[in-house]
Structure 1
Amino acid sequence: MKFRAFTALAVAAAMAVPAAAETRVTYKSAKSSSSYYQMAVQIAEAMQEASDGEISVTVEESQGSVQNVMEVRARGGDYVFTTPPVLVSLAQGGKAMFEGKGDPAFDDIRALFPIPSLTMHFVMSEESGAKTFDDLKGKTILLGKGSFGAKEGEKYLELFGVQDEVNIADVELSNAVPAMQNGQIDGFVTAGSWPAPNVVEAAASTGVHVLSLTDEQIAETKRAKLVIPAGTYAGQDEDIVTTSLPVVAFTTTKMDDDTAYQLTKTYWEQKASMAEAAKWWGGVDEALMENITGQIHPGAVRYYEEAGFTLTDDQK
C-alpha cells in the first residue's frame, strides 16, 4: 500500500539531524498482512520525508509482540518495536512468557509514543437481535483461532457467564462477514485498531450491533476502557463502550536522544496527515499517554515537555 508523502517538517527535521551521515532506524511491527504493519509503513514514510532523507526507517515484519521484546537482547540503538506495555513489564520482571528468559537489556527499554490500541469488538447481526451479553445465549459466535481477540473473547464469555450457552463456530475469522451474510453465524469477535475493516464491511452489508460493556464488566476484564464514537460504523447511533489493549512504540536507551526526539516529534506532528490516509490514527490523542506505564526515552521526554504534554514522574 502506497501512502501519501509528508513534507511539512522537512526543513525543521533536516536542521535537527546532522547532514554528514544518514541515521538508520529499524521499526519492527507485526505480520505484513496486519493493519499494524501498514501503520509502520506510514510512520516510515513520514519520517523519511520529514527528515529530507536524513533518517531512514526500515520496516521489519514480526510474528508477534513477544518476539519484538525478546529481540531487544541482540539489537542496537537503531531498534524500534511495538508491543503492549504490559509485556515490557513482564519482561523486566521475568514473569509469564519471560520466566527464565530475563536479561539486563529489558531494563533499558524506553517508550516513544502510543499507537492505536487493540480494540475489542463483539459484532452481532441485526437479525440476531442481540444487544447485551445476556442476549448471546443460544447464539452462534465466531471467535477465530489463536489471536488476541479470540483469547480475549473467550475470556469475556466466561467472565459474563454465557460461555456454556454460546455456540462457537468453527470458521476462520477472515470468513466472518460472508458467514454472517449467509446466516452461518450470528456474530463474531475481532480485535484491532478501529475502525476495523471487517466491522465496516459487516455494518455496511448486513447491518450490525456492536455490544457495549458496562463499567462493572470493564472492571472485570482488567483492560483499559475505550469509547468508539457514534457514527464510526454504519447504523451506529450511539457510542460503543468497549475495552482495549494499549500498544506503544518502544526503543532502548541505546538510541541517541536526538533520534528519539525526532521520531517522536514527527509522529505527533504528522499524525493528522496520516489520518487522512487511514482513519485508525483518529483514535490516537494525548489521552493515550496514560497507557505508557514505564519510562519514556529522554529524547522523547524532551519533545513532550516542549509540546506541553503532561507526564507522570514514573514516565520521566
Structure 2
Amino acid sequence: MKLVSAAFAALVIAAAPAWAETRVTYKSAKSGSSYYQMGVQVAEAMKAGTDGQIIVTVEESQGSVQNVMEVRARGADYVFTTPPALVGLAQAGKAMFEGKGDPKFDEIRALFPIPSLTMHFVMSDASGVTDFAGMEGKTILLGKGSFGASEGEKYLGLFGLEGKVTIADVELSNAVAALKNGQIDGFVTAGSWPAPNVIEAAASTGVHVISMSDEQVAETGRTRLVIPAGTYAGQDTDIVTTSLPVVAYTTTAMEDETAYQLTKTYWEEKARMADSAPWWKGVDQGLMANIAGKIHPGALRYYREAGFPLTDAQM
C-alpha cells in the first residue's frame, strides 16, 4: 500500500504545472512613486491569485528607458513597465536608443496595460478658471524634471499661453499646500487617475480640473482619455484629457504558460486591487488598443479565451 501511495505522489508531482512556484522580477519605477506602489500591488495580486505559485519581486527603476535597456541583459523572468512608444523607438534604434540597438529589443512582447499617465490641469475654485484661456495671468506650478512638467509646458505653448502665465518655483510635492495658501492658482500633474494630490486638493480647497476639446487633444498628439464624472469632489461632468499609455512587457524568452498565468491572474485580480487602490478602476479592455506591437503568445491565449478585442498587429 505504501508503495502505491508513493507512486501516486510521484505522479502528482510530475503532473504539477510547469509554472508552479515561478519567480518573476517586475521592474517599474522609483520607490515611493505611484507606479512602484502599483508594482507592489501586482506582486501581491499574483501571489494571492495563484496561491503562491507565482512570486513577483518588485525592483526599483530610474525610469522607463532603463527598463527597456535592461532587456539586453535579462532572462525569461523579466517583466517591466514602459510606454509602448519607447518599445517602438528601441526596436527602430531611434532617439534615446540610437546607436544602442540590440536584437533582444525585437523580442519584446506585451502582457497587459496598467494605469496610464494622465494629464491634470488643476485650478483652484478661487481662481475662477474653467478653461485654458482663463489661465492667462495666473500663477501655475509645473514641477521640475517630470513628464507632467515637460508635457504641461508643451501644452501652454500649444494653447497660446507661453509667456502669459507665471510659473511658480515650487516643488510639485508642495502643490496642495501652495494652492491652499494662495501661493499658486493651479498646478499641473501627470499620474494615474484618480491622482492622490488632486483628490486632496479637491477635498480641501475645491478645484476645477480643466477639460480639453477634441481639437486640443489632437494638437497634443497624445491619447485621449476620459476621467468620469464624480471621480473628484465637486466634479459633476466628465473630464476629457490626454494620457501616455503604460504597459507591462516581457520578452519571448518567457515561457508561454508563465505569460498566460500572469495575464490571466492580473485581469482576474484587478477588481480586488481596485477596492484598495482606485487607480485600477481606470484599466479596462479599452486600454488594449494602446498596446502597439505584438502581445506575448501566452498572453494572447488568455485574451482569446476571454474574448478581448485584438488587432492583427498585436498577434
* 1:143 counterpart residue number: 142
User: In 2 relative to 1, CA 79–187 (structure 1 residues): closer, same or farther, beyond 3 Å?
Assistant: same
* 2:73 counterpart residue number: 74
> 2:26 & 2:192 partners in 1: Cα distance?
18
Deviation at residue 151 of structure 1 after TM alignment: 0.4
Question: 2:23, 2:77 within 8 Å by CA — same for their partners in 1?
Answer: yes
* 1:131 counterpart residue number: 130
User: In 2 relative to 1, CA 252–20 (structure 1 residues): closer, same or farther, beyond 3 Å?
Assistant: closer
> 2:273 & 2:14 partners in 1: Cα distance?
23
Structure 2: runs of 5+ lacking an equivalent:
1-12
Deviation at residue 17 of structure 1 after TM alignment: 6.3
Higher Cα radius of gyration = 2
* 1:61 counterpart residue number: 60
C-alpha RMSD of the superposition: 1.5
* 2:109 counterpart residue number: 110
* 1:290 counterpart residue number: 289
* 2:40 counterpart residue number: 41
- Letter of the 2:178 partner, please give it: A
Question: 2:19, 2:258 within 8 Å by CA — same for their partners in 1?
Answer: no
Deviations 1:154-210 (CA, angstroms, capped at 9, x unpaired): 000001110110100000000000001111000000000000000000001110000
Deviation at residue 304 of structure 1 after TM alignment: 0.2
> 1:178 & 1:101 partners in 2: Cα distance?
43
> 1:15 & 1:61 partners in 2: Cα distance?
36
- Letter of the 2:109 partner, please give it: R
> 1:50 & 1:287 partners in 2: Cα distance?
23
Deviation at residue 20 of structure 1 after TM alignment: 8.9
- Letter of the 1:237 partner, please give it: D
What does 1:160-309 align with in structure 2 at a 5 Å threshold? Answer: 160-309=159-308
Question: 1:122, 1:188 within 8 Å by CA — same for their partners in 2?
Answer: yes
Deviations 1:221-278 (CA, angstroms, capped at 9, x unpaired): 0000000011100111111100000000000000000000000000001100110010
Question: 1:207, 1:235 within 8 Å by CA — same for their partners in 2?
Answer: yes
> 1:218 & 1:150 partners in 2: Cα distance?
17
Question: 1:19, 1:54 within 8 Å by CA — same for their partners in 2?
Answer: no
Aligned length: 303
**SS state of the match for residue 163, structure 2?**
helix
> 1:30 & 1:85 partners in 2: Cα distance?
16
Deviation at residue 136 of structure 1 after TM alignment: 0.7
Structure 1: runs of 5+ lacking an equivalent:
1-13
* 2:6 counterpart residue number: none
* 2:9 counterpart residue number: none
**SS state of the match for residue 164, structure 1?**
coil
> 1:233 & 1:190 partners in 2: Cα distance?
15
Normalised TM-score (structure 2): 0.94
User: In 2 relative to 1, CA 20–282 (structure 1 residues): closer, same or farther, beyond 3 Å?
Assistant: closer
4+ runs deviating over 6 angstroms: 14-17
User: In 2 relative to 1, CA 87–230 (structure 1 residues): closer, same or farther, beyond 3 Å?
Assistant: same
Question: 1:17, 1:258 within 8 Å by CA — same for their partners in 2?
Answer: no
Question: 1:117, 1:245 within 8 Å by CA — same for their partners in 2?
Answer: yes
**SS state of the match for residue 248, structure 1?**
strand
User: In 2 relative to 1, CA 15–302 (structure 1 residues): closer, same or farther, beyond 3 Å?
Assistant: farther
Question: 2:19, 2:257 within 8 Å by CA — same for their partners in 1?
Answer: no
What does 1:152-163 align with in structure 2 at a 5 Å threshold? Answer: 152-163=151-162
Normalised TM-score (structure 1): 0.94
- Letter of the 1:33 partner, please give it: G
